[in-house]
Amino acid sequence: MSEERQRGVDLFNEAWRLMETREDDDRLLHITHASRYHWGEAEECTPANLARGEWQVSRVYTVLGRPEPAIWHARRCLELCETNGIGDWDLAYAYEALARAHALADDGEAEHWKAKAREAGDAIASPGEREHFDEDYLTLP
């Protein structure tokens, strides 16, 4: 594993810890962007890695109550999925991110994206990944 990828992974995991504890929201925001940056710099980076990074950035902005950047990064996640033919888990989570961000924005678009997330989630091939998605789906507003 390259040094850049390892940094991206470590920062991704630290962002999750900070989302759960909410001990330092500024650090959380910067770490999440840094994780996405380092993934993008890694030789072995794939479009799916980039999509997952954009998804996490969107999720962090949602946690922080900032709908506009949450929507922007969720759209970027979906673009990466669509442009690169990425489906399954990643596509379901792209829709989930859009549903979550639009619910925060309260702009009337959340239900559309929530329905797309449900449809894509039902198509996830791995039963374990589908179960994990279902748990997250139930937390959508």
pLDDT tens-digit series, residues 13-66:
999 999 999 999 999 999 999 999 999 999 999 999 999 999 999 999 999 999
Of 78, 80, 75, the C-alpha closest to 50 is 80
pLDDT at 57: 98
For 2, 3, 25, 43, 136, the CA distances from 55, given in Å and listed in that order, are: 22, 22, 17, 20, 13
Q: Does the pLDDT of residue 105 top 90, yes or no? A: yes
Over residues 115-125, the mean pLDDT reads 98
pLDDT at 1: 84
pLDDT at 137: 98
pLDDT at 97: 98
What gap in Å lies between CA 108 and CA 120, rounded to an integer? 20
pTM for the predicted model, two decimal places: 0.96
Residue 51 structure tokens: 């999509």
* pLDDT-above-70 percentage for the chain: 100
Q: How does the average pLDDT of the chain come out, rounded?
A: 97
pLDDT at 54: 98
